[in-house]
A and B are shown apart, each in its own frame.
Chain A
Amino acid sequence: MSSDAQAVDVCAFWVGGAVYGIDVARVEEILPRVVPLPVGDAPPHVEGVVHVQGAAVPIVDLRRLLPAGTPPRTAKPKVILARLGRRRVGLRIDGMAGVRRYTVAEIRPAGAVPGVLAITADECRLLDLRELLADRPANRRRGL
């Protein structure tokens, strides 16, 4: 296997008191200021939709889906416009933590933490976005 295939590029960000990561290839844009339009019948973690290049994109508040905590004082809240299959979703986060590259050896499986696939050596939790955002009763409960 080539060294490129073993490397994992992660877009890392703060939510609560922990650093989480998603694949950089998912990240389309980082939006500094987003005012979503609320929609009816949305689960509590969905703030609403915004228009990005003609398509309505839901904004999901990750702070309502992940454990609470206090982010560092320097963190600036942002929205990550992320790809999910053929869709896009906006993820509300507490602050960016940069783009990091890990080797497979630095990553270990997370065990039974919902929505988290693996944890890196420096405690960046790699998220399973599809699992985290799936429409399930558990999400609705956790959302409140």
Chain B
Amino acid sequence: MSGDPSSLEALLARFRYRPDEESAGLTELPAASLEPDRPRGVDEVQLLTFGLGEGEYAVALGTVTEILRARTLTEIPRARPPLLGVLNLRGTITPVYDPSLRLGLSVSAPPCAGPDCARPPRAARILVVRTALGPAGLWVDRVRGVHRVRPGVLERPRGGPTGGVLGVLPTAEGSCTVVDPEWLLR
């Protein structure tokens, strides 16, 4: 079958990608809009995703005031976990906590306070979050980025006490647990 070139040309025109091609009538999904560059809606929430050990977690971006490169903290004698130490943040003494304990991760708090501690890993960051008692820091292993999502996309935990877990966000790599930062400090 040789086919006439004009019809082959028409077939190839359908094959080739055009940004303005008509995509109406495609399978519509109820969960979310498929438009990658849709206008940013007021109902969207922004989540800051970060990693702790093997896991990925997220907090609402609005609660985070600052992200600092992890640095050696000032130790507090007999500080108990999850408190790691304090940080002088432009004159404000800011306590820094290890969220992995609250999340039930087996990672022990990194020794990052005091004069004879090791240098913090390059990827480690301190998230400064607003709390009722003033700013507090959360020591995380790495910061991934910001996700804009519609609240309906979050899988809410069903049944039972959920603690500070607000939901689970499906991502391309797996999923990420959305937590309440204040709960991590308690």
Bound Cα distance A134, B16 (Å): 17
CB distance from B137 to the nearest CB of A (A): 26
Question: A83 touches which one: B17, B153, B170 (CB < 8 A)?
Answer: B17
Q: Is the CB of B25 within 8 A of A49?
A: no
Contact among A37, A85, A126 with B21 in the assembled complex (CB-CB below 8 Å):
A85
Which bracket fits the contact residues of A?
35 or more
What B residues does A41 contact at CB under 8 A? 30
Answer yes or no: A144 CB below 8 A from chain B CBs: no
- Check if B11 sits within 8 Å of A56, measured CB to CB: no
Q: In the complex the two chains form, what is the Cα distance from A3 to B113 in whole Å?
A: 65
How many residues belonging to B are interface residues under a CB distance threshold of 8 Å? 46
Say yes or no for B14: interface residue by CB 8 A criterion: yes
Residues facing A in B37-91 (CB within 8 A) are: 37-38
A135 at the B interface (CB under 8 A): yes
Query: Across the interface, do B170 and A57 meet the contact criterion of CB distance under 8 Å?
Result: no
Q: Are B30 and A39 in contact (CB under 8 A)?
A: yes
Q: How many pairs, one residue from A and one from B, have CB atoms within 8 Å of each other in the complex?
A: 144
Q: Which of B92-100, B101-109, B119-127, B171-179 contacts A (4 or more CB under 8 A)?
A: B171-179
B136-178: which residues lie under 8 A (CB-CB) from chain A? 146-149, 153, 155, 169-175
> A49 touches which one: B12, B19, B31 (CB < 8 A)?
B31
On whether the beta carbons of A87 and B172 are closer than 8 Å, the reply is no
On chain B, the residues within 8 Å of A127 by CB distance are 15
Smallest Cβ distance from B22 to chain A, in angstroms? 7
Enumerate 15 A-B pairs (CB-CB under 8 Å) in ascending A order.
A8-B15, A22-B15, A51-B147, A51-B172, A56-B31, A56-B33, A56-B153, A86-B36, A89-B34, A104-B9, A108-B1, A108-B2, A126-B11, A126-B12, A130-B26
Q: What are the 10 A-B residue pairs with the smallest beta carbon separation, nearest first?
A: A85-B23, A56-B32, A37-B170, A25-B17, A54-B148, A109-B3, A26-B17, A87-B34, A117-B11, A39-B31
Interface residues of A (CB under 8 A from B): 8, 22-23, 25-26, 31, 33-37, 39-43, 46, 48-58, 60, 83-89, 104, 107-111, 117-118, 126-128, 130-131, 133-135, 139
